[in-house]
Amino acid sequence: MKKQFFIALVLIFIFNAAAAQEVNVNMGPEFMAAKRSTLSGIIGYDQTGYYVLQSKLRGLNPQTMLAHFDNQLSLTKQVELSPSYEGKELIVESIVYMDGKIYLFTSFKNHKLGKKFLFYQTVNKSTLTPNNDLKKIEEIELNKSKDGDYWFTTSKDTSKILCIKNLPNDKDEPESFGIKVFDSKMQLLWEKSVELPYAEKLFDISKYIMSNEGHVYILGRLYEGKAKETRKGKVNYQYKIFAYNRDKSEKEITVSLGDKYITDLQMGISDAGEFICSGFYSNMGTHSIDGTYFLKIDPKNNKVLSRHAKEFPTDFLTQYVTEKEAKKIEKQEQKGKDFELYEYDLDELIVREDGGAYLIGEQYYVRVVTTTYSTGNGGYSTRTTYYYNYHDIIVISFNRDGSIEWCEKVPKRQVSTNDGGFYSSYVRALYNDRLYFIFNDHIDNLQSWSTGKLKNYTAGQNGVVTLVSLTREGKQNRTMLYKAKDIETITVPKVCEQISKNELIIYGQKKKTHQFSRVVFK
Amino acid sequence: MKKLLLIATSLFLSYSIYAQTDDDDLKAMFDDGNISTSKNVLKINSLAWPAGDLPIHYERVLLEVLSVEVGVGYILDMETIEIQIPYEDRVGSKGNGYSLWVNPRLFLTGNAPEGYYMGMLYRRRAYSFEYTYNDYVIINGIQSPFAKGRFMVDFMYGFGLRFVDSGLYQSSLPSFNKMRMVFPTSVKLGYKF
């Protein structure tokens, strides 16, 4: 007992000291969970604590678990969700927290009727089991070989939920889908059936969002002739945005930069209701990026308010790299040859209250190495190793008019093997227009992060959890949140989440030991 | 007062009817002829005939992810085509006979009997000319519904060892030929009930 008290005191001291005046860290108790289980997401919280989704693998099947943690981050209840109706199993499609209620969305495929039905029911917050109030909200006619899908998203203020039914069309049929928007009490606000003038095989829906007012935006990639990124050395696709307003008006907007490749796009909605779409483009292909694209639309009349494409400045490309690398880049640029940033994924577009936005990306790629070795008895064997690379984060801040305000790199180096990069990547938070990034790092990088000479993160003695803050002006500050060796678990940044204006939940896991902690921004 | 009672009664009745309708509608949506809850599949094996084997298989779901398939077949007295290493030493007739199949399966995706599975297969083929094969095989397979879910297609492949017991001929068999590698493959069509 004394020992535990002493450890608790030490931990409190460490985490308060590590908070670096910007944040407070409250560690929850460790808890044991099934071997092949992990956190899927935090769905909501109320005065009693947090509701989280966990997933457990049974065979190769993920099982959904719903759990409740109190405000001290202790596990109070955990239930495996296996919804059924009169002995017939329902497939869990989504779980959403709206207006203080947990809604469970499930589907049932009725082969006899040739239909896949979509239902919702509320979940009892005390028992975490579904209530007996199952209601049908949608159905899909099954195709011979396809079932169709249901997709969900909520508005930013969680006052509405969008349900898209993606119909199981044949590849030559027009792409078609259904939209239904419900309020937080699951009353249908409006619906629409859409048939696009493009064949299913040539149009891929990539993202969809909904504004607080219930306007729906769908982003997709349209290929020309064949679903290939490049044909005869030229860009073979363009992005399309479809805006569907609650008053049933609609607009199709083409996002194209001629012979430039738009590698990825993200969508967001400002507090004033303006629709913003932004992303990266490249001159070379879809594996590198050369600049950013920005588009703003007035939702009232779907009029384009601003549209910009801007190359990354050279000082951004040379930021936080070694002197040798910087000189090489500068030389290349002076010769008129393009230098591009390689393998950056576009993660997020955050629209600020002032109407400007942050665009966040991360360098991510997988390297596969196959080695052949002698088995010693005259035979040979091969071994394949997957190297998961999660490196620098980039942040581009846009002004309200879409021009670039500043670009900043957050250098990091995370390489792991054969683990899917489980402990790599980052979690971000936004508080008072200041961006925060939390990730696993090497302790030496706290000093050398700006020199371009980074050490790879490894769990253990040299592992730290780093907090990087970016001010509204793009000034970067890096501090240690806590040392990896001070806790029993390893932080899993990919599943951590900002749950309220000033709170972020951190999740740690090592084998069967799991732990939540709370970061409060000051 | 009468009016109030009438309104209350009609409100109650309309609510009951509404609730009843809701429940009936749900029941209709879930009425799939018990296809989704059926635990039995009867199958024929379309790839066993080259081995002269005409089996019928029956699969029973035991747990959510576990099932067992058993089969019994009549073996025709005919020239057979089957991949074995080393290759079949005995040419000509082994006589007719019977086959027995026992195959427990663990479903890694989906719930039994649908999805990707792994398992073990014990197969015995006994011929009238005192010739018996005992096969012990590790298998992989995938079983999917088609034609409104009532019918199933089961594709399975595996590799394992065959132990040959040739009775009267045993002494004449070279020792290396008493154990062989076999690669059973099957495409079965089944009816779920």
pLDDT in tens, B104-157: 999 998 889 999 999 999 999 998 877 888 999 999 999 998 878 889 999 999
DSSP state of A130: B
pLDDT of residue B58: 97
| Residue among A61, A111, A136 minimizing CB distance to B148 | A111
Q: Look at residue A195 and tell me whether its pLDDT is greater than 90.
A: yes
Return all residues near A445 (Cβ < 8 A) that are at least 6 apart. A411, A412, A413, A454, A455, A466
Compute the radius of gyration of chain A from its Cα atoms: 24
CA dihedral in degrees (A315, A321, A326, A330; nearest 10)?
A: -40
Instruction: Report residue B5's pLDDT band, with 50, 70 and 90 as the boundaries.
Output: low
pLDDT of residue A267: 94
> With an 8 Å Cβ cutoff, are B26 and A85 in contact?
yes
Q: Look at residue B11 and tell me whether its pLDDT is greater than 90.
A: no
Number of Cβ within 10 Å of residue A89's Cβ equals 15
Q: Cβ of A70 under 8 Å from any chain B Cβ?
A: no
Q: Which B residues in the span 163-192 are in contact with A, Cβ-Cβ below 8 Å?
A: none
Q: Cβ of A11 under 8 Å from any chain B Cβ?
A: no
Q: Look at residue B17 and tell me whether its pLDDT is greater than 50.
A: no
Over range A246-261, report the average pLDDT.
86
Burial of A7 (0-12, 13-18, 19+ CB in 10 A): exposed
Q: Look at residue A301 and tell me whether its pLDDT is greater than 90.
A: no
| Residue among B31, B108, B149 minimizing CB distance to A60 | B108
> With an 8 Å Cβ cutoff, are B32 and A110 in contact?
yes
pLDDT of residue B131: 80
Return all residues near A370 (Cβ < 8 A) that are at least 6 apart. A382, A383, A384, A385
pLDDT of residue A308: 87
Instruction: Report residue B2's pLDDT band, with 50, 70 and 90 as the boundaries.
Output: low
Q: Look at residue A212 and tell me whether its pLDDT is greater than 60.
A: yes
For residue A97, give the amino acid letter.
Answer: Y
Rounded mean pLDDT of chain A? Answer: 90
Q: Look at residue B20 and tell me whether its pLDDT is greater than 60.
A: no
pLDDT of residue B4: 57
Q: What percent of chain A has pLDDT over 90?
A: 70
DSSP state of A229: S
Q: What percent of chain B has pLDDT over 70?
A: 80
Q: Look at residue B54 and tell me whether its pLDDT is greater than 70.
A: yes
Q: Look at residue A5 and tell me whether its pLDDT is greater than 60.
A: no
**A236, A225 in Cβ contact below 8 A?**
yes
| Residue among A58, A108, A114 minimizing CB distance to B30 | A108
Q: Look at residue A123 and tell me whether its pLDDT is greater than 90.
A: yes
Q: Which residues of A touch B63 (CB under 8 A)?
A: none
ipTM above 0.85, yes or no: no
Tens of pLDDT, residue by residue over A140-158, are 998 877 889 999 999 999 9
Q: Which residues of A touch B35 (CB under 8 A)?
A: 111-112
Give how far A39 is from chain B: nearest CA, Å.
20
Q: Collapsing DSSP states into helix, strand and coil, what is residue A115?
A: strand
Q: Hey, what are A479's tokens?
A: 């501090």
Q: Hey, what are A117's tokens?
A: 């039905």
DSSP state of B37: T
Over range A3-25, report the average pLDDT.
56
Question: Of the spans A254-263, A322-331, A406-415, B168-177, which averages the highest pLDDT?
Answer: A406-415
Q: Cβ of A87 under 8 Å from any chain B Cβ?
A: yes
Q: Hey, what are B139's tokens?
A: 């298998």
Over range A346-353, report the average pLDDT.
93
pLDDT of residue B177: 67
Look at A119-128, A223-232, B90-99 and tell me which has the smallest mean pLDDT. Answer: B90-99
Q: Prior bond to A313 cis, omega within 30?
A: no
Over range B77-94, report the average pLDDT.
71
pTM for the model stands at 0.86
Q: Cβ of B27 under 8 Å from any chain A Cβ?
A: yes
Rounded CA separation A174/A392 (Å): 40
Rounded mean pLDDT of chain B? Answer: 83
> With an 8 Å Cβ cutoff, are B31 and A108 in contact?
no
Does residue A281 or residue A256 have the better pLDDT? A281
> With an 8 Å Cβ cutoff, are B29 and A113 in contact?
yes
Q: Cβ of B37 under 8 Å from any chain A Cβ?
A: yes
**A243, A318 in Cβ contact below 8 A?**
no
Q: Look at residue A445 and tell me whether its pLDDT is greater than 70.
A: yes
Rounded CA separation A291/A312 (Å): 5
Among B18, B26, B140, the strongest candidate for a mutation testing the A interface, having the largest count of A CBs within 10 A, is B26
Q: Look at residue A303 and tell me whether its pLDDT is greater than 50.
A: yes
Q: Look at residue A477 and tell me whether its pLDDT is greater than 60.
A: yes
